[in-house]
C-alpha cells in the first residue's frame, strides 16, 4: 500500500506534537513535515527526527497530500487557500470559527475533500449519538450542559458543547439562537422549559469534560464524557486522515466516518 503523505499544521503545539508522534509510528503515513507560525524557534529545524518545520504551507505540500490542522481559525483560513490551490485533502480540528468562516469552508469543500469536526475523539462522537437518543427519549426533560477545559483554551463555549446544543436543537426542532442561555448572567426571570443552558469552566490542566443533564420532576439523568489525554483526539485525527484519502471532494464529519467506517464495517 502506498503511504499517505502527511503535513501537520500547528505541528509544535500540544495536539500537533502528539499527532506527529503517532503518525511516525504508523506505517500508513509518511510525515513530510510540519508548519508553524512566523518566528517560531523551530522553523527550519527538525521537531522530530526527519520532520522539518516550515513557515509556509505552500513550501511543502503537493497534490493529494493530507494536511491536518489544529491551529487557530485565522490560520486555518489561510491554510485553506493553499490546500485548495494545491488540490490537497484537509482535516480540520481547529474550533472557534465564525459563521462566515464556516460558510467559506463549505464553499471550498466543493472543490476539495474537507473533513471538519470540533472533536476528533471517537468516544465523544459515540457520546453524541447517545445524547441524540436520550433527547428523543426524554422529551419533557429540561437540559443543561457543563463543559470543563484547561485554562489555556481560548474559545468558549467549546466546539463540542456547541455541537451538543445543535444536536439537541435538531432533535427537538427548536431554534438554537432562541433557547440557549450562556451562564445565565443578567436574566431576571424563571427558567423557560425549552431553554438549554451552557456553562463553561476553565481551570487547571483538564483536557476536556462534557456533561449533559436531563432534569425531570424529582430526578436528574447525567451523561458525561471525560478525556484524560490528547491521544484520543490525535488517534481520531489520523483515522479520519486515512478516510479522507478515499474522497475526491465534499465536506465530511465524524457522522460520515462512523456510518461508513464503523457501523457498516
Catalytic residue numbers, as ranges? 149, 153
Residue found under cell 481547529: 94
CA distances from 130 to 124, 221, 223, 224, 237 (A): 10, 13, 9, 10, 21
Contact present, 76 and 104 (Cβ < 8 Å)? no
C-alpha–C-alpha distance, residues 38 and 218, integer Å: 56
H or E element: which one contains 53?
Answer: strand 51-54
Residues in the chain: 265
Sign of CA dihedral 81, 82, 85, 89: negative
54 grid coordinates: 516550515
Amino acid at each position: 500500500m502506498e503511504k499517505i503523505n502527511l503535513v501537520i499544521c500547528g505541528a509544535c503545539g500540544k495536539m500537533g506534537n502528539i499527532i506527529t508522534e503517532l503518525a511516525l509510528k504508523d506505517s500508513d503515513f509518511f510525515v513530510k513535515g510540519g508548519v508553524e507560525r512566523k518566528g517560531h524557534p523551530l522553523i527550519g529545524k527538525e521537531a522530530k527526527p526527519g520532520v522539518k518545520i516550515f513557515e509556509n504551507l505552500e513550501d511543502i505540500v503537493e497534490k493529494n497530500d493530507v494536511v491536518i490542522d489544529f491551529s487557530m481559525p485565522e490560520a486555518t483560513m489561510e491554510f485553506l487557500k493553499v490546500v485548495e490551490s494545491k488540490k490537497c485533502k484537509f482535516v480540520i480540528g481547529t474550533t472557534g470559527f465564525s459563521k462566515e468562516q464556516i460558510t467559506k469552508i463549505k464553499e471550498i469543500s466543493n472543490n476539495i475533500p474537507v473533513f471538519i469536526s470540533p472533536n476528533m475523539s471517537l468516544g465523544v462522537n459515540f457520546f453524541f449519538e447517545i445524547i441524540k437518543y436520550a433527547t428523543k427519549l426524554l422529551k419533557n426533560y429540561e437540559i443543561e450542559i457543563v463543559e470543563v477545559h484547561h485554562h489555556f483554551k481560548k474559545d468558549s463555549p467549546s466546539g463540542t458543547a456547541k455541537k451538543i446544543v445543535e444536536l439537541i436543537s435538531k432533535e427537538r426542532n427548536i431554534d438554537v439562537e432562541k433557547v440557549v442561555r450562556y451562564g445565565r448572567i443578567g436574566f431576571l426571570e424563571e427558567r423557560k422549559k425549552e431553554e438549554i443552558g451552557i456553562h463553561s469552566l476553565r481551570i487547571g490542566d483538564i483536557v476536556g469534560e462534557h456533561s449533559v443533564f436531563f432534569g425531570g420532576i424529582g430526578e436528574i439523568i447525567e451523561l458525561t464524557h471525560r478525556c484524560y489525554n490528547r491521544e484520543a483526539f490525535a488517534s481520531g485525527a489520523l483515522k479520519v486522515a486515512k478516510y479522507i484519502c478515499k474522497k475526491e471532494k465534499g465536506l465530511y464529519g465524524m457522522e460520515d466516518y462512523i456510518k461508513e467506517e464503523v457501523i457498516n464495517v
